[in-house]
Amino acid sequence: MENAHNDTSSSGMGSKEFTLLVALLMSITAISIDALLPALGIIGDDCSARRQQTNHNCSLACCF
């Protein structure tokens, strides 16, 4: 009696599934950055950042 779970083609993630997963994760990152952009001024005020440096420092902090 053969076991249906021994089929190697159905185990693991295929190339198409992996590509789709990576694309979805990247799109979630882009959406979260877009949601954060309107609040950068408020975040800078809470961090006592000067207005001239707020965009650069917050953008750098968001990337890393």
pLDDT at res. 40: 81
pLDDT at res. 22: 95
Question: Rounded mean pLDDT of the chain?
Answer: 75
Q: Is the pLDDT of residue 64 over 90?
A: no
Confidence of residue 59 (pLDDT cuts 50, 70, 90): low
Q: Is the pLDDT of residue 49 over 60?
A: yes
Q: How far apart are CA 33 and CA 27, in angstroms?
A: 10
